[in-house]
């Protein structure tokens, strides 16, 4: 059972949720997730909602390896109008914004967004935790290296589980201290980890059950899948489905995906297995 409360709305589900990816960027790694026009964003979001997404996750900058970081003002220039248009077109939808800038978090929640999805887990902006506490919205914290220029650097090739346990322990304690009440944990599949560690993560998600927080998993079409299979991101749907299945069977609460219809089918079938 998962319940999220934000901006006077409640998202309540007895099964895992689907978060659809909507990138307002020119350079995100999977071409079909990218849009630049508001009309394109409305069209793609509409299809994802019909196919079973409960949350639309809007990103204004790419975090793929080699991507150029942008400042908060440029990020807002990309996503502000899209957020307003989506909330007008789909007033019942839950909107998440993928950002590590606290200034962006403030502005998008002011526009009506419901969730902040921070790939830095609060590490890249020292004001983020207190900002989220003041905004009182659900907050996704992802594990990644603590320096923005090293988000894709592997510093440890041993088991990643103790590293994540320590990170989430510190994160949960810090969140509680400042008054963040709706914390969602993301182990950071594909960030600061080897392919072997990414597979270790999927197989051991139940190790994080003790935190008693929802687990968000973002494996969709990532390089661990397509490089392992010797294919491209465009051909990685089948591999993504396999790892979505494993993630759900090991305790995932939210799947962040490019392909909503297929992910929703996985959620439905796994609910019968469990």
Q: What is the per-residue pLDDT across 250-261, written as a single tens digit (0 to 9) for each?
A: 999 999 999 999
- Comparing 173 with 28, which gets the higher pLDDT? 173
Strand partners, 183: 139
What are the angstrom distances between the C-alpha of 241 and each of 157, 183, 256? 26, 26, 12
Q: Region 1-28: what's the mean pLDDT?
A: 90
Residue 68 CB neighbours (<10 A) = 7
In the set 193, 213, 221, 256, the catalytic residue is 256
Residues 210 and 265: their CA atoms lie apart, in Å, by 28
Active-site residue flag, 32: no
Instruction: Please say if the pLDDT value at position 177 is more than 80.
Output: yes
**Structure token pair of residue 53:** 């997404």
Fold topology of 2-273: TIM Barrel (3.20.20)
Residue 210 has what DSSP assignment?
G
Q: 76 CB contacts (<8 Å, ≥6 apart)?
A: 60, 103, 104, 107, 108
Per-residue pLDDT, 151? 80
Q: Give pTM, 2 decimals.
A: 0.93
Burial of 274 (0-12, 13-18, 19+ CB in 10 A): exposed
Q: Which of 9, 130, 222, 261 is catalytic?
A: 222
For the question of residue 130 being annotated catalytic, the response is no
Q: Measured between alpha carbons, how far is 113 from 137 in angstroms, rounded to an integer?
A: 9
Give the C-alpha separation, 51 to 131, whole Å. Answer: 33
pLDDT in tens, 48-92: 999 999 999 999 887 666 667 778 899 999 999 999 999 999 999
What does DSSP assign to residue 69? P
- Token pair, residue 203, equals 């197989």
pLDDT above 70 covers a percentage of the chain that reads: 95
pLDDT band, very low/low/confident/very high, at 104 (cuts 50, 70, 90): very high
pLDDT in tens, 194-206: 999 999 999 999 9
Q: Tokens at residue 176, please?
A: 């509680």
| SS3 (DSSP) at 140 | strand
pLDDT of residue 64: 65
């Amino acid at each position: 059972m998962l319940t999220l409360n934000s901006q006077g709305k409640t998202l309540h589900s007895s099964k895992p949720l689907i978060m659809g990816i909507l990138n307002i960027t020119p350079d995100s790694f999977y071409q079909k997730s990218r849009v630049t026009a508001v009309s394109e964003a409305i069209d793609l979001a509409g299809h994802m909602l019909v196919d079973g997404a409960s949350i639309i996750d809007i990103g204004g900058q790419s975090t793929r390896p080699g991507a150029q970081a942008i400042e908060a003002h440029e990020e807002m220039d990309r996503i502000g109008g899209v957020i307003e248009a989506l909330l007008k077109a789909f007033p019942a939808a839950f909107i998440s914004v993928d950002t590590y800038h606290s200034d962006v978090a403030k502005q998008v929640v002011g526009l009506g967004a419901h969730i902040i999805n921070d790939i830095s887990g609060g590490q890249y902006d020292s004001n983020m935790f207190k900002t989220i506490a003041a905004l009182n919205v659900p907050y996704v914290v992802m594990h990644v290296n603590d320096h923005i220029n090293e988000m894709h650097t592997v510093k440890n090739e041993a088991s990643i589980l103790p590293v994540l346990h320590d990170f989430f322990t510190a994160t949960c304690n810090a969140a509680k201290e400042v008054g963040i009440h709706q914390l969602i944990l993301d182990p950071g599949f594909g960030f600061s980890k080897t392919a072997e560690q990414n597979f270790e993560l999927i197989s051991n998600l139940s190790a994080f059950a003790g935190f008693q927080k929802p687990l968000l998993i973002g494996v969709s079409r990532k390089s661990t899948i397509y490089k392992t299979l010797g294919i491209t991101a465009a051909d990685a749907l089948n591999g993504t489905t396999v790892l979505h299945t494993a993630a759900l069977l090991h305790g995932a609460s939210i799947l962040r995906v490019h392909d909503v219809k297929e992910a929703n089918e996985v959620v439905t079938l796994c609910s019968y297995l469990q």
